Structures are given as structure tokens and as C-alpha cells.
């Protein structure tokens, strides 16, 4: 079972509307998580401590996270490296100093407004500050990205509140793709907003985020999705194969997908099984071929022309 780190925010929990309406089980889960603050745990461990079922424990964890009573992360550094004015840690002092020197208070207030909170908590302040100080993203970049994520969040009809974690995760992913300036971010947002569903699949499969999709790329994908009726998983599998053998060329991907289509493959597993059986058959054929050092079968099968000539001469003398 996946483990995660907990950061508890008791003040936020007590101010939450859900706190007054919570069930006994939900409150027990909250108390356990406050006690486990900063530790690596699993939902199963929390369910046992709270004396409730695993499903109810997971539901309670989701509830308190959405209410801002806790923050969870798969990385310990996100829990430890926080801004806390009551501590004397090096990281806390560094974060506080960055906020004062760079005048980031308005940035934090703006992000809090976007996600619908009166103010960010200490951990959220640290994570937003890290985007500025560690990833060198401008305040305009962070705010623009936050507005974009909120718009997509609302368009998708999600009931849960947008969290700082959503903004931080997306920002880090975009920086890894090379979208690290406000200009590139605005171009990214424009292309994503104008993408059709199929074009967005192309971007995900091929990792294309900083440019428009070419006509040939669209034509290939249209063929693979409309004619071959393949989904994203199979196309991604073909991309992985092409990346290893032919520098991820679309023409090579097309050959791979065409062979699967002709073989009638419908799932990734069927595609893999087909490739495996084809490779085994190829090896088998190669093993049946005789070595050049082995005696070669005469052109006329087992017929020996020299022996036949000698036999004919002998019969001729015998008749005389």
C-alpha cells in the first residue's frame, strides 16, 4: 500500500465547517493524523489506529485534506522544508528571508485568493516560495498558472477545492518540459486551450508542448485512431518501441501499428504477444538454416552424376 507523509494544520481543522459536522469516525481519523504529523504512514495504518474500515479512513483523509486540515505528500522534503516562524531551522529562516527581501507577500495573498482561502498556511507559503526561489519562476508566471489551473478545475466540474499542491506539481512538470518563462507559459496555455481531444493525446504521447502540431503528425494520428481504431495506450506502446529502435520516427511507429492492425491486435497485451511470437518464429527459421561449413545437399538431390556415368559404362561392357 502506498505510503505518504502527513502535515497537520490543527487551527485550520478547528475552523472548518466539516469539523462541527464530522462523524465520530472522521474525528478519530483526524486525531490520528494530527498525532502522526510529519511521519510516513499508510491509509491502512490510520484505519487501524482510528478503529475504522480502510474505505472510511480513505474517505476521511480526503475530507480533511480538502478542508485544509492536513496536507499529504509522497516526499518528505515537502513536509520538513516549511516556513515556520516558531522554529529555528535553516530552511525556515531561508524562506522567511526570501519573502522579506523579494516582497512576496502579495504573491501569497493572490494565490490564497485564487484557491479560495483567507490565507496560506506555513507549508503552502514554503512551497509557493520555492517555485520563485528554486525554480526561478516569476510572480506573474505563478499567478498566471494558478488562474489557468483553476479555470480548468472548474470547467471539469470538480467539487474538491483547488490546492497549492496542484499548482506546485503542474509548475514543476512544465519546467521539466522546458516551459519555464511567462511567454512560454502563455503559449502553452493558448495551445492547450485550442487543442482538440485528439491533439491533446498527440502532445501527451510525443511530449510536444512548446510548438504547434504539424499536419503530418495529425494525419498519422488520424489514421491510427480512425482507421486502425487504436487508443492512447497502444499508440504509446508503439512510441516506446520506436524510441528504442528508430529515434521515435513517426514512419517507424506507423509500421509497428500497421503490423498490429493487420494482425488484429486490440489491446497492448495482444500487441506484445504478437511481437513475441513473431520474434520466436524468426529465431526458429534462423536455427533451421544450415551452416556454410556443413556439407551442402547436391543440386539434384541425392543423385550422383559421376556414379551414374560409371554404372552406364559398366553396363555397356557387360553387354559385349
- Could you read off the pLDDT of 97-146 as tens digits, one per residue? 777 767 788 898 899 899 988 778 878 888 898 899 889 999 999 999 99
Q: Are residues 256 and 209 in the same domain?
A: yes
Q: Determine which of 85-94, 139-148, 201-210, 265-274 has the lowest per-residue pLDDT on average.
A: 85-94
Does a structural domain hold residue 217? yes
CA distance 182 to 136: 11
Does a structural domain hold residue 290? no
Per-residue pLDDT tens over the stretch 201-257:
777 787 776 677 788 888 888 899 889 988 889 998 998 888 887 566 888 899 999
Q: What is the mean pLDDT of residues 177-197?
A: 81
Domain boundary among the residues 75, 101, 133 is at: 75
pLDDT for position 56: 84
Q: Are residues 8 and 44 in the same domain?
A: yes
User: What total number of domains does the chain contain?
Assistant: 3
Contacts of 201 (CB under 8 A, 6+ apart): 221, 225, 232, 235
Q: Are residues 25 and 86 in the same domain?
A: no
Q: Are residues 177 and 111 in the same domain?
A: yes
Does a structural domain hold residue 315? no
Q: Are residues 30 and 52 in the same domain?
A: yes
Domain boundary among the residues 160, 194, 228 is at: 194
Q: Are residues 52 and 112 in the same domain?
A: no
Q: Are residues 31 and 117 in the same domain?
A: no
Does a structural domain hold residue 18? yes
pTM of the entire predicted model: 0.41
Domain boundary among the residues 75, 110, 129 is at: 75
Whether pLDDT at 147 is above 60 = yes
Whether pLDDT at 263 is above 80 = yes
Q: Are residues 130 and 87 in the same domain?
A: yes
Which CATH number do you get for residue 277?
1.10.10
Considering just the CA atoms, what is the radius of gyration of the chain in Å? 33
Q: Are residues 112 and 141 in the same domain?
A: yes
**Count of CB atoms within 10 A of residue 295's CB?**
6
Secondary structure (H, E, C), the chain: CCEEEEEECHHHHHHCHHHHHCCHHHHHHHHHHHHCCCCEEEHHHHHHHHCCCHHHHHHHHHHHHHCCCEEEECCHHHHHCCCCCCCCCHHHHHHHHHHHHHCCHHHHHHHHHHHCCCCCCHHHHHHHHHHHHCCCCCHHHHHHHHHHHHHHHHHCCCCCCCCHHHHHHHHHHHHHCCCCCHHHHHHHHHHHHHCCHHHHHHHHHHCCCCCCCCHHHHHHHHHHHHHCCCCHHHHHHHHHHHHHHCCCCHHHHHHHHHHHHHCCCCCHHHHHHHHHHHHHHHHHHHHHCCCCCCCCCCCCCCCCHHHHHHHHHHHHHHHC
Q: Are residues 263 and 178 in the same domain?
A: no
CA distance 2 to 105: 35
Q: Are residues 176 and 88 in the same domain?
A: yes
**Count of CB atoms within 10 A of residue 289's CB?**
8
Q: Determine which of 50-59, 236-245, 308-317 has the lowest per-residue pLDDT on average.
A: 308-317
What pLDDT band is residue 289 in, cutting at 50, 70 and 90? low
Does a structural domain hold residue 244? yes
CA 158 to chain centre: 20
Q: Higher-confidence residue: 126 or 304?
A: 126
CA distance 159 to 190: 25
Q: Cell triple for residue 262?
A: 493487420
Q: Cell triple for residue 223?
A: 489514421
Does a structural domain hold residue 305? no
Q: Are residues 97 and 188 in the same domain?
A: yes
Does a structural domain hold residue 57? yes
What is the domain extent for residue 22? 1-75
Does a structural domain hold residue 311? no
Amino acid at each position: 500500500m502506498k505510503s505518504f507523509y502527513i502535515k497537520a494544520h490543527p487551527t485550520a481543522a478547528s475552523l472548518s465547517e466539516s469539523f462541527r459536522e464530522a462523524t465520530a469516525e472522521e474525528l478519530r481519523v483526524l486525531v490520528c493524523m494530527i498525532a502522526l504529523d510529519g511521519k510516513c504512514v499508510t491509509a491502512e495504518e490510520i484505519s487501524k489506529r482510528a478503529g475504522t474500515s480502510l474505505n472510511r479512513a480513505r474517505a476521511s483523509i480526503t475530507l480533511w485534506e480538502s478542508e485544509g486540515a492536513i496536507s499529504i505528500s509522497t516526499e518528505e522534503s515537502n513536509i520538513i522544508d516549511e516556513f515556520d516562524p516558531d522554529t529555528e531551522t535553516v530552511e525556515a529562516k531561508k524562506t522567511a528571508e526570501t519573502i522579506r527581501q523579494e516582497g512576496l507577500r502579495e504573491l501569497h495573498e493572490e494565490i490564497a485568493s485564487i484557491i479560495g482561502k483567507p490565507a496560506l498556511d506555513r507549508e503552502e507559503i514554503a512551497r509557493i516560495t520555492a517555485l520563485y526561489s528554486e525554480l526561478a519562476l516569476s510572480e506573474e508566471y505563478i499567478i498566471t498558472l494558478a488562474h489557468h489551473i483553476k479555470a480548468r478545475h472548474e470547467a471539469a466540474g470538480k467539487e474538491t477545492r483547488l490546492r497549492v499542491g496542484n499548482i506546485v506539481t503542474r509548475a514543476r512538470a512544465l519546467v521539466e518540459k522546458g516551459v519555464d518563462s511567462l511567454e512560454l507559459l502563455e503559449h502553452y496555455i493558448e495551445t492547450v486551450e485550442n487543442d482538440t481531444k485528439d491533439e491533446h493525446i498527440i502532445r501527451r504521447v510525443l511530449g510536444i508542448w512548446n510548438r504547434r502540431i504539424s499536419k503530418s503528425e495529425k494525419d498519422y494520428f488520424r489514421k491510427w485512431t480512425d482507421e486502425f481504431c487504436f487508443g492512447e495506450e497502444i499508440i504509446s506502446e508503439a512510441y516506446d518501441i520506436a524510441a528504442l529502435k528508430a529515434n521515435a520516427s513517426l514512419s517507424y511507429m506507423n509500421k509497428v501499428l500497421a503490423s498490429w492492425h493487420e494482425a488484429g491486435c486490440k489491446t497492448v497485451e495482444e500487441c506484445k504477444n504478437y511481437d513475441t511470437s513473431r520474434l520466436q518464429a524468426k529465431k526458429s527459421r534462423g536455427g533451421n538454416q544450415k551452416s556454410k561449413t556443413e556439407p551442402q545437399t547436391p543440386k539434384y538431390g541425392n543423385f550422383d552424376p559421376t556414379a551414374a556415368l560409371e554404372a552406364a559404362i559398366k553396363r555397356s561392357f557387360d553387354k559385349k
